[in-house]
Amino acid sequence: MFKKNLEAIRKVNKVLAYKLEHVTLEEASRNLSAIKNEFGEYILTRNNKYVDDTPSPIASAKAIYAEQIKSATSRHDFIVIFGLGLGNLLDYAHTESVTQLILYEPEIDIIRFTCEYVDLTKYFKDGRLYITNNLTDCTKYIGEKYLLEDKIEFLFLKNYVLQKPSEFTVLTERIFETCQEKIVDMNTIKKMSKIWIDNSIKSFTNFKRRYPVNLLENKFKNKTALVLGAGPSLKDNIEKIKQNRENFVIFTVHRTLETLRKNGITPDFCVIVDAQWVKQSFTQDLEYLKEVNFIVDIKADNYVYSLPCKNLFTYFTKNSICAQKIATKMLGEIKLLESAGTSTITAYKCARLLGCKNIIFAGVDLAFKNDTAYCDDKNVVTNTQSSVKIQNIVHETTEIKSITGEYIKTRVDYACFIKQFEAFFAQDKNVNLFNLTTFGAFINGMKYDNLENIIQIIKPEKTDAREILDNFIDTTTFNPQKLIDKAKEVFKEEEARIQPLINAIDEWFEMYLEHPSFFDYATNIITKITSSMILSEYVQIELLRFTKLVLDKDEEKKKMFVLELFKQIKTFYKNLNNLT
């Protein structure tokens, strides 16, 4: 029995299978046994305590399922089972549901013991079951599979939870955090994917000279960067920054520019990632910008290209299909960079790319101060128990640990940004990171101190960014016009790929009202969307919804979905045609 189960497990989790091979039955049985109840059912015990629920594990499994599972009903939903026991709860969940099943059993001895006596192979045959004894593995698996609108519910052996309350609590918290981050990501994609593609294409209709930012790699080697976010602590430190300006290469986000202008500080670089509403951060006094170098994400708001600036650098991200295709055309002159998600994190990534070894953050609080969200004091925070309102936009809140050791309220997306920072910092060992906030979020990897002390510690050398950049512009062999020409080639090729699809969609519009197999014909068209990778990215959320809709029996719902999708594709093609 064990060998059969082992092979089934190996197909879904090779690491667990390897571990199980190295646990003997004798080792697994030291603290485990199975006793027979009055109904002839076996009950697993561990250290003389029941693991399975009593008096009848089979009846209990049915009752537990009815009590605990309320909304996870579709094949895209997830049921996370805590505790294997002798498999009764797994058996009932597999029989009664069509969902994805994730079984987390922290004790490998229990898995080894049960695999010796219970046939688990049937639960793996339909591809719905994943089993692990590792919490990180469990949350990672869910993070990879979970999509927006999927439901997750927990199923657990009550006796086992009483024995392992902390493990169960950590499991639920970790999965919630994972899904919350994914929800933020997917909501962003849902709202922004089309805008990102449109911005990427439109950016190359502007003939402004631009350079890939990777050409500046190590041009500021061993210098000290000051990364300015728009949080309240920027205002707290503005005078000290002004007094020590010559010690830093300043990377700032566009939202700080008005504060910096009013205080007579000209940053070396302004990093712009936002895809919308950038215009709101700029005043009519644009002369100030002529001495500022812009680093602009390829997906950023096209308003940027109407602004004056000293030099324009493009941040080409790995996760942009437009960037990937343009980079291929440029034959190695463009280096694709990791997407950072926010302007502040992108500013940090740019500082590292340019070679800075000391990075000081100001205005990177990821928390509120005296009911203000930003350095300009204009955005008063209105609190409720579970949300905040900033500029008439309501944001959900959560609690995070501050540098004071207390737990403070912040936006849910800020909490995700903290994790992003920590993930980047964990990978980046050869850098000194400091933060000037006195009240904000605690971020692992940063040291917290005031500017005077930090300067005493790192002793930064004076930096003339203007001289370094002027020398780059004078000596580079890169041809900015070639970049624009190659980008236009990419979009022309995509237009040609989409043309047959548009013809098929036009035919579908002529027949869908009367043809009984309208959805089958539409499905045939939709499967060909992948002929254009840029279009596939443009409608990626709709394609995810389509995979769920295939088995839906609501014909009207299907029809409305296809109508909307095809209209979006036609609009995209029209825009592409106009732009190229």
- Tell me the average pLDDT of the chain: 89
Query: What are the beta bridge partners of residue 314?
Result: 212, 296
Whose tokens are 């001895």? That residue is: 109
The answer to whether the CB of 200 falls within 8 A of the CB of 322 is yes
pTM above 0.75, yes or no: no
Res. 148 pLDDT band, cuts 50 70 90: low
CA–CA separation, 276 vs 284, rounded Å?
18
Contact 570/578 with Cβ under 8 angstroms?
Answer: no
In whole angstroms, give the CA distance from residue 259 to residue 344.
Answer: 16
Give the C-alpha separation, 153 to 81, whole Å. Answer: 9
Cα torsion through 268, 208, 259, 226, rounded to 10: -30
* Gap between the Cα atoms of 89 and 359, Å rounded: 52
Predicted confidence (pLDDT) per residue in 295-348, tens digit: 999 999 999 999 999 999 999 999 899 999 999 999 999 999 998 878 999 999
Q: Could you tell me which of 276, 237, 279, 275 has the C-alpha nearest to residue 257?
A: 279
Per-residue pLDDT at 162: 86
Q: What is the pLDDT of residues 429-438, one digit of tens each?
A: 889 999 999 9
Contact by Cβ (8 Å): 463, 248:
yes
For the domain 2-183, what is the CATH code?
3.40.50
Q: Using alpha carbons only, what angle is made at residue 290 by residues 466 and 471, rounded to the nearest 5 degrees?
A: 25
The full DSSP string for 502-571 is HHHHHHHHHHTTT-TTHHHHHHHHHTTGGGSHHHHHHTHHHHHHHHHHTT---HHHHHHHHHHHHHHHHH
Q: Which residues contact 519 (CB under 8 A, 6 or more apart)?
A: 555, 558, 559, 562
With H, G, I as helix, E, B as strand and everything else as coil, classify residue 349: helix
According to DSSP, the β-strands at 358-362 and 382-383 are unpaired
Q: Distance (Å, rounded) from C-alpha 580 to C-alpha 578?
A: 6
Would you call 170 exposed, middle or buried from its count of C-beta atoms within 10 A (0-12, 13-18, 19+)? middle
**pLDDT tier at 353, thresholds 50, 70, 90:** very high
- CA angle, corner 509, sides to 504 and 513, nearest 5? 135
Q: Which residue bears the tokens 């709202």?
A: 191
Interval 456-482 mean pLDDT: 96
Q: Give the separation between CA 174 and CA 168, rounded to whole angstroms.
A: 10
Task: Indicate the length of the chain as a whole number.
Answer: 580
Query: What is the Cα–Cα distance from 113 to 20, expressed in whole angstroms?
Result: 10
The model's confidence at residue 556, banded by pLDDT at 50, 70 and 90, is: confident
Share of the chain above pLDDT 90, in %: 59
Q: What is the pLDDT of residue 107?
A: 93
Rounded CA separation 12/15 (Å): 9
Query: If residue 361 lies in a helix (H) or strand (E), which one and from where to where?
Result: strand 358-362
Q: What is the pLDDT of residues 356-400, one digit of tens each?
A: 999 999 999 999 887 787 877 555 566 666 667 766 667 788 889
Strands 393-401 and 387-390: antiparallel
Collapsing DSSP to helix, strand or coil, 408 comes out as strand
Block residue for tokens 């500017």: 451
Query: Rounded mean pLDDT of 204-209?
Result: 87
Q: First and final CA of the chain: distance in angstroms?
A: 64
Question: What value does the mean pLDDT take over residues 479-501?
Answer: 94
Buried b (16+ CB within 10 A) or exposed e, 568-579: ebbebbebbeee
CATH number for the region 206-478 comes to 3.90.1480
- Model pLDDT, residue 149: 63
Structure tokens at 104: 């987390």
pLDDT greater than 80 at residue 85: yes
In this structure, what DSSP letter does residue 46 have?
Answer: E
Mean pLDDT of 46-63: 89
Contacts of 117 (CB under 8 A, 6+ apart): 1, 34, 86
Q: Tokens in use for 459?
A: 């002793």
| 269: nearest Cα among 300, 318, 320, 311 | 311
Average pLDDT over residues 241-261: 95
Residues forming a β-bridge with 221: none
Number of neighbours of residue 473 by Cβ within 10 angstroms: 12
Cis check: omega of the bond before 55, within 30 degrees of 0: yes
What is the arithmetic mean of pLDDT over 98-126? 94
- How far apart CA 102 and CA 100 sit, in angstroms, is 7
- Which residues contact residue 277 at a Cβ distance below 8 angstroms, ignoring those fewer than 6 apart? 301
In the chain, % of residues over pLDDT 70: 94
CB 245 within 8 A of CB 269: no
DSSP strands (E only) in 8-77? 32-36, 42-46, 49-50
Residue 185 scores a pLDDT above 60: no
Res 190: pLDDT? 61
Contact 275, 303 (CB under 8 A): no
pLDDT band for position 145 (50/70/90)?
confident
pLDDT value at 61 more than 80: yes
Mean pLDDT lowest among 95-104, 121-130, 554-563: 554-563
Residue 225 near residue 358 (C-beta atoms within 8 A): yes
Secondary structure of 521-537 as H, E, C letters = HHHHHHCCHHHCHHHHH
Q: In what order do the strands lie in the sheet with 78-82?
A: 129-132, 100-104, 78-82, 152-156
